[in-house]
Every structure is written in structure tokens, then in C-alpha cells.
Amino acid sequence: MEFFNPNSNVDFMRIRRVSMIVALFLVIGSITTLATRGLNFALDFTGGTLVEVQFDREMEQPQVLEALDAAGFEGAVVQRFGTDSFAIRLPPDAGGGAPEEAAAGPASGDEAESSLDARNAALAARVVEALDATGAESTVTRSEFVGPQVGEELAQDGLLAVLVVITGIVIYIAMRFEWKFGVATVVGELHDVLVTLGIFALTGRDFDLVVLAAVLAVDGYSVNDKIVVFDRVRELFRNTTNLDPVQVVNRAVNSTLSRTIMTSLTTLLTVVALFLFGGPTLENFALVIIIGIVIGTLSTIFLSAPLLLRLGVDKQDLMPKARDEAELARRP
């Protein structure tokens, strides 16, 4: 099954200068948006109150969200586990005052902890009162505050995870291919991640740990797509003698285009289903994957491949290095 003839010769590299300029503007725009608007960090990073409730009968997530919104609990995040239990995460100011301020006042030790417990209990009672509008009886099974310092640690760990992934990819590609391929791949994946984050910052959607996991998945997907094309570039360089680098890269993109389109479409079918039917918990996760697949596929063809040519890749880069016989003779 092929969407495109593998022997086609669409001249993608003819517009490589324009496509690289467009990609540069997208990156600059994304960085500007991230710097000015910033990401809308969710409770995973900002802290807040966690209230777990159990109903006396099966409930649906939209019903719980509707009852909380009607009671004025804006920004609440509802996650379902089981048929009748939900975890409700509320912003730090949901109770009419920051809990860390209550704990940082004149009281200390047991008094501060008691004050914080009293606030959590009062907030849980308000949540139960709001959920009574659903017509079902609810019971609080857990109520606690998660401070912003935990969110800061999660943000640092998330950034560290991204850096470790990128570093590992650079090392692998440098060993598996050649440094020019490694640079083109890393620039492409950084473009994909930055543009995805820029779109998220522009739309103001919540950025939580689930979205961070999706960003890492986009990073991996982007690299995989580029490696497939670059592997074909390497194969063509080694097996042909009458093609210049532009023709080699063009033929590599054309010959892998059917694979790229089919892989992207089948993955999109899954994540679009998650976006439409997965509920609020998976909506942002699926949206990041959708954006990443589209941006990653385009950047492989119109950014990473042209950048490979810009770096001056040629047949000699992939040929075995000649041994220095004189140097070998001097060895004991």
C-alpha cells in the first residue's frame, strides 16, 4: 500500500531556503510567545488542594465538573478512578486564601499544621456541598494540600528529563551516523518541541505532567521520523555514484514519503480519537501529540533535510575512513 510512488521525484529541496526561513520565524515566534505569555502551569507545578471523593453510585466526569463550576470552583481538575471515585485538584486560592500563608504566619509547628488541616477540611466540605447538586451522596476519602515547592521540583525534573533525552539522542546519532546528521536531527526536534510549546502558550491551555509526557513523546516521534529519512540518505550515498547531494536527499524524502504519511495518519487516527472521546484528562495530551505529529512530519522534509544540505553533507562523510599506514607502522 503506497500513497506516493517511491520512484517519484518531487523537488522538495527546491524551496529549502524558504522553508528554513519559515521554520526560523516559527521558532522565533514560539520563543517570543513563551517569553511573553508563558505556559499556563497546572496544579502539578503550582501546587493546590487534592480532594478525593467517593459517590454512592456511578457518576460521569462531566457531571462532577459541571457541579464544581456552578459552585465557583474555577480551574478544578477532575480525574476519575473506578466507577464512583474521583480525584479533584483545586488551585491554591480555591479556599479564599493561600494555604501556605496560613502555615507561614505567627503560628508554627503543630498550630500551623492544625490550621492547614482545618482549611483543607473546610474546603472539602464546600466540595461535598457543591457535589450535592448532582443528586448523589458523596464522601471525602482524602484531603490534603500539595505545596508549590513540590511543583518546582517536578518542573526541574521535567526539564532534566528533556535534557537527558536530547543528550542521549545526540550521542546515539553521532555514533550511528555522522555529526552533520546529529546536528540536523537535534535542530529539527528542538524546532518541533518549541513550536508545540509555543502553540500551547498561545492557546493558554493547562500545562501539566501529562502534557510534559506528551512533549517527550513528540520528541521521540520527531527523531524517529528523521532517522528513517537520514538512513535512506546514507544508503543512497553509499549505493549511488552519479547523484549530487541535493538529488540524494530529494530521492530519500520521496522514497520514504509513503511510509511517513501512512505512519502519521495511523497515529493521528488514534490520538484524534483520544482527543474527541478521551475526556478532559487526555484532551491536552492528545492535542500535543497531534500538533507534534504534524509539525514533526513537516520539519523532517522542510527543515532537517535542507539543513543537512546546508551543513555540506556528501558521500565522503559516510565512507570508511582510510587508515594512516605510516601512523600504524610507528605503533609498537
Q: Would residue 82 be called left, alpha or beta, if left means φ above 0 and alpha means ψ between -120 and 50 degrees?
A: left
* CA 39 to mean position of chain CA atoms: 13
Tell me: do 184 and 307 sit in the same domain. yes
- Does 324 fall in a domain? no
Q: Which carries the bigger pLDDT value, residue 164 or residue 291? A: 291
- Does 106 fall in a domain? yes
Mean pLDDT, rounded, of the chain: 80
Residue 136 pLDDT level (bands cut at 50, 70, 90): confident
Q: Please give the sequence-ordered ranges of beta strands (E in DSSP) within 95-152, or none if there are none.
A: 138-146
DSSP 143-201: EEEE-HHHHHHHHHHHHHHHHHHHHHHHHHHHHHS-HHHHHHHHHHHHHHHHHHHHHHH
Tell me: do 195 and 313 sit in the same domain. yes
Tell me: do 58 and 142 sit in the same domain. yes
Tell me: do 293 and 189 sit in the same domain. yes
Number of domains in the chain: 2
Q: Would residue 292 be called left, alpha or beta, if left means φ above 0 and alpha means ψ between -120 and 50 degrees?
A: alpha
- Does 3 fall in a domain? no
pLDDT at 328: 47
- Structural domain including 97 reads 48-146
Domain boundary pick from 91, 116, 146: 146
Cα distances from 282 to residues 6, 127, 199, 211, 265, in angstroms, run 36, 23, 17, 9, 19
pLDDT at 102: 42
What mean pLDDT do residues 267-280 have?
A: 88
Q: What is the CATH number of the domain that holds 217?
A: 1.20.1640.10
Is residue 283 over pLDDT 50? yes
Q: Which carries the bigger pLDDT value, residue 56 or residue 271? A: 271
Question: H/E element holding 87?
Answer: strand 85-90
pLDDT at 27: 95
Answer yes or no: are the C-beta atoms of 294 and 286 closer than 8 Å. no
- Does 266 fall in a domain? yes
Tell me: do 159 and 295 sit in the same domain. yes
- Does 251 fall in a domain? yes
Tell me: do 189 and 226 sit in the same domain. yes
What does the chain come to in residues? 332
Residue 150 pLDDT level (bands cut at 50, 70, 90): low
pLDDT at 18: 94
Domain boundary pick from 113, 146, 179: 146
pLDDT at 100: 46
Lowest mean per-residue pLDDT among 9-13, 49-53, 261-265, 322-326: 322-326
Domain boundary pick from 117, 146, 175: 146
pLDDT digits (tens, 9 = 90+) for 205-215: 888 888 888 88
Tell me: do 71 and 170 sit in the same domain. no
Is residue 142 over pLDDT 60? yes
- Does 1 fall in a domain? no
Q: Which carries the bigger pLDDT value, residue 130 or residue 120? A: 130
pLDDT at 20: 94
Tell me: do 66 and 189 sit in the same domain. no
pLDDT digits (tens, 9 = 90+) for 83-124: 778 888 887 766 554 444 444 444 444 554 566 667 777 888
Tell me: do 119 and 233 sit in the same domain. no
Is residue 318 over pLDDT 70? no
- Does 332 fall in a domain? no
